[in-house]
């Protein structure tokens, strides 16, 4: 576990030190550092197209050679993601106009939504608060709508339902819903380090 943490930290520090210091640099560096050691759910190219991946690298981390293959070997199957275009449209409609990296952030977020854990974990971020910061920076008006602190993956899909005029929740309000904890419970209890430690103990 210590080796994993040190390796990820080293990659992260190198990325930040040689980044363009943009508002997204730290979040992208954290995601890439996790991806480089096999954590998170992001596939090859971080879920970007090869062209997008190269453009992101050139823009944010021009002096660093980044491998394009995911160490985890994970892939994304967009054929089972009927909402892919809708998610891209939702995020695109709310993107901050003056943030250069948001095009790539959108593609990475959509790829992360195919993961099975909390969105911040699937992205390889190190805490939920980092995802909240990323959302506020890149999609400020959309992030402001999450004023009840709903889990981000749940929140994004709720926005899609509302766009289609759908209401899949039977409860009159979130506060009285028996599934309240599924949408609003803390996501910080399961960190990436916790996952690694559990996997290590399981395989030992």
Give residue 36's pLDDT: 95
pLDDT for 194 beyond 80 = no
pLDDT for 177 beyond 90 = no
- Classify 114 as helix, strand or coil: coil
CB 144 within 8 A of CB 94: no
pLDDT for 17 beyond 60 = yes
pLDDT for 65 beyond 80 = yes
DSSP code, position 21: -
Token representation of residue 202: 């399981």
In the chain, how many domains are there?
A: 1
Q: Please, which residues have CB within 8 angstroms of residue 55's CB and are 6 or more apart in sequence?
A: 104
List phi, psi (to 5°) of 100: -65, -30
Residue 119's domain spans which residues?
A: 2-203
Distance between CA atoms of 127 and 120, rounded to whole angstroms?
7
Q: What percent of the chain has pLDDT over 90?
A: 66
pLDDT for 155 beyond 70 = yes
Token representation of residue 195: 């996952």
Full-prediction pTM beyond 0.85? no
pLDDT for 191 beyond 60 = no
Q: Which residue has the higher pLDDT, 197 or 26?
A: 26
Across 44-58, 105-119, 160-174, least confident range:
160-174
């Amino acid at each position: 576990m210590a080796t994993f943490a040190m390796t990820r930290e080293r990659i992260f520090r190198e990325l930040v030190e040689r980044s363009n210091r943009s508002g997204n640099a730290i979040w992208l560096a954290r995601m890439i550092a996790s991806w480089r050691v096999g954590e998170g759910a992001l596939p090859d190219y971080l879920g970007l197209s090869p062209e997008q991946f190269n453009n992101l690298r050139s823009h944010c981390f021009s002096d660093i050679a980044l491998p394009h293959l995911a160490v985890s070997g994970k892939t994304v199957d967009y054929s089972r993601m009927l909402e892919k275009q809708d998610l891209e449209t939702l995020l695109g409609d709310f993107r901050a106009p003056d943030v250069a990296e948001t095009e790539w952030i959108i593609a990475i977020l959509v790829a992360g939504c195919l993961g099975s854990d909390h969105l911040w974990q699937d992205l390889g971020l190190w805490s939920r608060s980092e995802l909240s910061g990323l959302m506020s920076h890149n999609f400020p008006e959309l992030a402001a709508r999450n004023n009840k602190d709903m889990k981000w993956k749940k929140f994004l899909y709720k926005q899609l339902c509302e766009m289609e005029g759908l209401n899949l929740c039977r409860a009159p309000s979130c506060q009285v819903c028996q599934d309240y904890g599924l949408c609003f419970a803390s996501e910080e209890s399961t960190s990436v380090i916790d996952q690694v430690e559990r996997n290590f103990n399981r395989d030992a």
